[in-house]
Amino acid sequence: MAAALLWSTGGLAIKLVPLAGLGVVFWRSAVTFLFLAVVLRPSLARLKTASPASVVVYALMILSFVSATKMTTAANAIFLQYTGPLYVLLLSPVVLKEPFRKADAVAIVAALSGMSLFFVGRLEPGALAGNLMAVASGVFFGGVVLLLRRGAGGDALPSMVLGNLLAALVALPFAWGGLALDGKGLLLVTYLGVVQMGVAYLLFVRGLTVVPAAEASLLGMLEPLFNPVWAFVGIGERPSPWALAGGAVVLLSVAARTLWASRAAR
């Protein structure tokens, strides 16, 4: 739960950093990489197990999510990213040779219906582009999960560490000239890299040793629930009623499918 709550602060912190999206990506990912490389130094030999595909897709997820958070509301960015598990359901029969069940179809249709609500009403060009970027982050999120399950036994450490390094390197030339930060900005990117990403990851891994996977997945959904709350409290950002309705449908679809899978496995 602590990990999810720390993750949920990312939307507000990203909004507060006085840089464009790719500038935030560079600093956040560079700090995350350095922090994890130092703290997990005894485990860095595991980086050799990372597949290039999972590293690239993880980096794309970071680039698209941070950019989306800068371009649209924090709520839209996180809700649409959390459609990722539905892409896993859709593609796992092909990629992982897992059976496709009726419950999967219901969850996917419901989530797609919820996604459509984010595009209802009048959208400014920037907000529309941000929503589309958030959809892409959800696709990449699902891709990371599929690739990890297929080739790395679920070990996210190599892809996370190297994915952050790659994201920082990709963002650097595009953000060059717009990376200067004052003291407040440096504190924010340090928080994002060390606490919101690094410490949260360590807490999540620790939690998985004592909490069942299904329960951990549901607790992880505290992130999209609290992310918009912090953005509202911190900067007064209000998502549209349509976005809130769509987010509720998406999260309920994912939660219901998780609960169903947990009970079916017993």
The C-alpha atoms of residue 149 and residue 144 are separated, in whole angstroms, by 9
| pLDDT confidence tier of residue 1, bands split at 50, 70 and 90 | confident
Q: Angle at CA 206, nearest 5°, toward 203 and 207?
A: 85
Query: Which tokens is 21 given?
Result: 């999206």
Q: Three-class SS of residue 10? A: helix
Tens digits of residue pLDDT in 140-197:
988 888 887 776 555 678 888 999 999 999 999 988 888 889 999 999 999 999 999 9
Helix, strand, coil tally for the chain in percent (to 5) = 80, 0, 20
Q: In the 8-state DSSP scheme, what is residue 114?
A: H
Residue-level pLDDT at 122? 59
Q: Is the overall model pTM greater than 0.85, yes or no?
A: yes
User: Cβ of 60: how many Cβ atoms within 10 Å?
Assistant: 21
| Of 37-46, 53-62, 139-148, the least confident | 37-46
The C-alpha atoms of residue 248 and residue 108 are separated, in whole angstroms, by 14
Residue-level pLDDT at 42? 74
Cα dihedral 56/110/76/14 (nearest 10) = -40
Radius of gyration for the alpha carbons in the chain, expressed in angstroms and rounded: 18
